[in-house]
Amino acid sequence: MPELSLSNRMQQIADFALPCDTLADLGTDHALLPIYAVTSKLAARAIASDINEGPLARAADNVNAYGLIGQIDLRLGDGLRTLQYGEADVIVSAGIGGHVHMQMVTQSIDIARSARRLVFQPMNAGHVLREALYDLDFHIIHEATVAEEDKLYEVIAVEPGDGKDRIYAETAPFLTALDAAMSVSECRRLQFVYGPTLLANPTPLMRRRVAREVESLSRIVGALRQSDRPASANRRQSLERDIAILSAWLGKGEVEYE
């Protein structure tokens, strides 16, 4: 079989997840990540699970084609519920919304904390996932913004910690320096949305993401200006403040976080 190549998004996930002893890929679809991990000798074995029979059948075909039946275990089921405690040292979950990620982790917290590392790629609502991970004492190890064609994705790697993740407090000065009136809660909300280390290390892709967000928020503000409802005015003022902070962040240029 030819050497397997991954998309930009999946390669970033692999970079955060590997090497490891046993990789668990939840919602595996075609099982490309487990196959890549094992054939590249970056994992001794892998578990590939999916909640739907169709994707798991495709995964089985691919695993068979690469002759990896003995090294990749295929399982039908829902997320972390397909794993035993401590069975995988690295767990990956990609391609679903942040709300689903959050529910999966909170409902199977013991399984989640039994892994050395978890890697997530939320399709939306990354702020919901980050806030849940913070509340559950997971610590962010890596974050990245990845582009595929015209779409931008975020990848988040966390590890179980003892107490609250200090990265939020350590990176807060990069935001609070933009506006002396910024409250702790306001700072934390922006960190949950955009990622504390991503805000402190503005790569070109991250700057593109924030610039797009400023454009989107500006369109919403324009629409809210057409309404005379008090709730619309309050919403508009809140968004205008976010736009001002994010615009100041975009204008600050390169910064470094250590």
Residue 29 lies in a domain: yes
Which of 129, 146, 163 is at the close of a domain?
A: 163
**In the predicted model, is pLDDT for residue 3 greater than 90?**
no
Residue 257 lies in a domain: no
Are residues 73 and 190 part of one domain? no
Q: What is the CATH number of the domain that holds 62?
A: 3.40.50.150
Are residues 31 and 13 part of one domain? yes
Which of 126, 148, 163 is at the close of a domain?
A: 163
DSSP state letters, 187-213: HHHHHHHH-HHHHHS--HHHHHHHHHH
Q: What is the pLDDT of residues 150-207, one digit of tens each?
A: 999 999 999 999 999 999 999 999 999 999 899 999 999 999 999 999 999 989 999 9
The number of distinct structural domains making up the chain is 2
Q: What pLDDT is attached to residue 230?
A: 86
Give the integer Cα–Cα distance in Å for 191 and 61.
41
Average pLDDT, the chain: 95
- Which amino acid, residue 77? G
> Structure tokens of 14?
């692999």
> Structure tokens of 137?
């004492």
Give the integer Cα–Cα distance in Å for 233 and 239.
10
CB 157 within 8 A of CB 121: no
C-alpha to C-alpha distances, 172 to 91, 169, 187, 234, nearest whole angstrom? 28, 5, 7, 25
CB 113 within 8 A of CB 46: no
Q: How confident is the model at residue 257 (pLDDT cuts 50, 70, 90)?
A: very low
Q: Residue 232: give the domain boundaries.
A: 169-252
Q: What is the pLDDT of residues 40-98, one digit of tens each?
A: 999 999 999 999 999 999 999 999 999 999 999 999 999 999 999 999 999 999 999 99
